[in-house]
């Protein structure tokens, strides 16, 4: 298995987002997303949401897709698409919390 994210392959095996704009807008309404320095939201092939982050724990690219089970898969990569963190089969209600844990979360502030 390659350590590089292959967007074409992932897009071929992904479901189309019903409304990418709705997901982006929902994420942008969460103040926690802005603490990640989230920017450059892009819809790749109407199947993958990509954006950049600059958090305390992780700086790089985030890729999110809907898989065949209608759950989300997440990849956090370097700017050269080297995969650093992967999560699969994530429910919508857990998406922000999981991303925050990887990107920005500091336990002593809980």
Residue 108 Cα distances to 50, 105, angstroms: 29, 9
- Contact between 83 and 75 under an 8 Å Cβ cutoff? The reply is yes
Q: What is the pLDDT confidence band of residue 13, given thresholds at 50, 70 and 90?
A: confident
Evaluate whether residue 94 is within a structural domain.
Answer: yes
Residue 75's domain comprises 7-109
| Residue range 42-76, pLDDT digits in tens | 888 888 999 999 999 999 999 999 888 889 999 99
Evaluate whether residue 58 is within a structural domain.
Answer: yes
Evaluate whether residue 35 is within a structural domain.
Answer: yes
The Cα–Cα gap between 27 and 75 comes to 16
Evaluate whether residue 1 is within a structural domain.
Answer: no
pLDDT of residue 28 exceeding 80:
no
For position 2, what pLDDT does the model report?
A: 63
For position 91, what pLDDT does the model report?
A: 92
Evaluate whether residue 82 is within a structural domain.
Answer: yes
Evaluate whether residue 24 is within a structural domain.
Answer: yes
CB atoms within 10 A of CB 6: 10
Q: How many domains does the chain have?
A: 1
User: With 0-12 CB in 10 A as exposed, 13-18 as middle and 19+ as buried, what is 85?
Assistant: middle
**36: which 2 tokens?**
């990640």
Evaluate whether residue 41 is within a structural domain.
Answer: yes
The pTM for the full model equals 0.85
What is the DSSP secondary structure assignment for residue 57, as one 8-state letter? Answer: S
Q: What is the dihedral of CA 31, 72, 81, 23, to 10 degrees?
A: -40
Evaluate whether residue 68 is within a structural domain.
Answer: yes
For position 44, what pLDDT does the model report?
A: 86
């Amino acid at each position: 298995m390659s350590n590089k994210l292959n967007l074409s392959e992932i897009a071929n095996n992904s479901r189309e987002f019903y409304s990418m704009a709705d997901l982006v807008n929902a994420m942008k309404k969460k103040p926690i997303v802005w603490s990640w320095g989230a920017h450059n939201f892009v819809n790749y092939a109407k199947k993958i949401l990509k954006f950049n982050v600059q958090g305390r724990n992780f700086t790089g690219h985030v890729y999110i897709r809907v898989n065949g089970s209608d759950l989300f898969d997440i990849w956090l990569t370097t700017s050269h698409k080297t995969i650093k963190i992967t999560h699969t089969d994530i429910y919508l209600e857990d998406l922000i919390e999981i991303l925050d844990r990887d990107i920005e979360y500091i336990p002593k502030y809980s």
